[in-house]
């Protein structure tokens, strides 16, 4: 059974990769990921400004939330120990490179033009195999047009592309008026892969204390319909690799993403919930399904259910919406 795939110019042993999260801040966890069969590791984002405490409190809420298994909890250090500044981050890359054999993909969340470029160079010098740009910004400035925001995204990719020869992945939000156009411009600006999609955290209100707090909700399976739809639409229309992320937990989820055209699949919530060994379980289930259904390689199934290749291309578009919106569902008594 050939589970290998290619991503960012690298040949990977399987399509299963832990998504960027503070789990990979610990070298022991990176080793456990490799032992569990992870095809590569995405490091947590290096944040140019001090968004770190926010990110770590997110990690804390998830790690110690009711959805985590006791076994999974043992992986997690206290959030106070997790602040990785640029120097520690570069050291982590170097340490990971000498400790494990799988590719190490760094992740960067910049704030200024200079910051993106400067850190991208340093990450390359530290020996990372590739770089994922996590462009995470919630726009609250009403005077900024959509066009200006999009130009900013394209600029970041162009600037980073011009300063590093590392393979470049760009993790995008789905919130663009014309996502296909945005994806095309990001690819033209130099991205080698699109990671679809990142997930914004929204605050909740604590009614007892009347305060806002960053209550983290692990993603739910239905959320993977979004990357499934968009990878299915963009596959072969753009000369770029695709990573599917958001709401993936099982081998079935992985299979569906590969069938619409993903090169690789990524998971964060599912690994927090089930533990790092979950990677191995998904791989075994994936291989079993392929054997039972007479597939001998990932390459054989990749893109078979994309919009270009599926029997009913309208399933990805408006006609399908009308079809489902006009279907009567049974009303519960």
Ligand X SMILES: Cc1cc2nc3c(=O)[nH]c(=O)nc-3n(C[C@H](O)[C@H](O)[C@H](O)COP(=O)(O)O)c2cc1C
Could you list the residues that contact ligand X (CB under 6 A)?
19-22, 44-45, 55, 58-59, 62, 107, 134, 171, 198-199, 219, 245-248, 267-270
Smallest gap from residue 199 Cβ to ligand X (A): 4
Smallest gap from residue 102 Cβ to ligand X (A): 17
d(CA 162, CA 177): 27
Smallest gap from residue 142 Cβ to ligand X (A): 26
d(CA 274, CA 72): 6
Smallest gap from residue 213 Cβ to ligand X (A): 15
Nearer to ligand X, 283 or 307 (CB): 283
Which residues, at least 6 apart from 318, have a Cβ–Cβ distance to it below 8 Å? none
What's the number of CA atoms in the CB half-sphere (13 Å) around residue 91? 8
Nearer to ligand X, 7 or 295 (CB): 7
DSSP summary character for residue 254: H
Nearer to ligand X, 224 or 307 (CB): 224
Nearer to ligand X, 44 or 110 (CB): 44
Nearer to ligand X, 260 or 268 (CB): 268
Smallest gap from residue 268 Cβ to ligand X (A): 3
Report the interhelical angle of 146-163 vs 113-126 (nearest 10°): 30
In the chain, which ranges are E strands? Answer: 5-7, 10-12, 16-18, 41-47, 104-109, 130-134, 168-172, 193-196, 204-206, 211-213, 241-245, 264-267
């Amino acid at each position: 059974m050939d589970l290998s795939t290619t991503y960012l110019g690298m040949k990977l042993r399987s399509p299963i990769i832990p998504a960027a999260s503070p789990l990979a801040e610990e070298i022991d966890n990176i080793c456990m990921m490799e032992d569990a069969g992870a095809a590569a590791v995405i490091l947590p984002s290096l944040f140019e400004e001090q968004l770190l405490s926010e990110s770590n409190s997110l990690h804390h809420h998830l790690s110690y939330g009711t959805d985590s298994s006791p076994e999974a909890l043992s992986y997690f250090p206290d959030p106070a120990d997790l602040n990785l500044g640029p120097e520690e981050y570069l050291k982590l890359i170097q340490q990971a490179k000498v400790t494990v054999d799988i590719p190490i993909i760094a992740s960067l969340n910049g704030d200024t033009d200079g910051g993106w470029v400067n850190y991208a160079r340093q990450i390359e010098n530290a020996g990372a195999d590739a770089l994922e740009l996590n462009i995470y910004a919630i726009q609250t400035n009403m005077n900024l047009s959509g066009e200006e925001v999009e130009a900013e995204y394209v600029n970041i990719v162009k600037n980073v592309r011009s300063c590093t020869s590392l393979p470049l992945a760009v993790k995008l939000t789905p919130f663009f008026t014309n996502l296909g156009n945005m994806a095309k411009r990001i690819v033209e600006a130099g991205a080698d892969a699109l990671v679809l999609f990142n997930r914004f955290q929204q605050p909740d209100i604590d009614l007892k204390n009347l305060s806002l707090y960053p209550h983290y909700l692990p993603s739910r399976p239905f959320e993977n319909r979004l990357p499934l739809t968009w990878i299915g639409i963009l596959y072969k229309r753009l000369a770029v690799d695709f990573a599917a992320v958001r709401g993936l937990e099982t081998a079935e989820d992985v299979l569906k993403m590969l069938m619409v055209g993903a090169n690789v699949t990524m998971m964060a919530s599912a690994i927090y919930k089930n533990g790092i060994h979950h990677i191995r379980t998904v791989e075994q289930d994936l291989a079993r399904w392929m054997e039972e259904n007479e597939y001998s390689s990932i390459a054989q199934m990749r893109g078979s259910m994309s919009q270009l290749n599926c029997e009913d291309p309208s399933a990805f578009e408006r006609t399908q919406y009308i079809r489902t919106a006009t279907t009567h569902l049974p009303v519960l008594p």
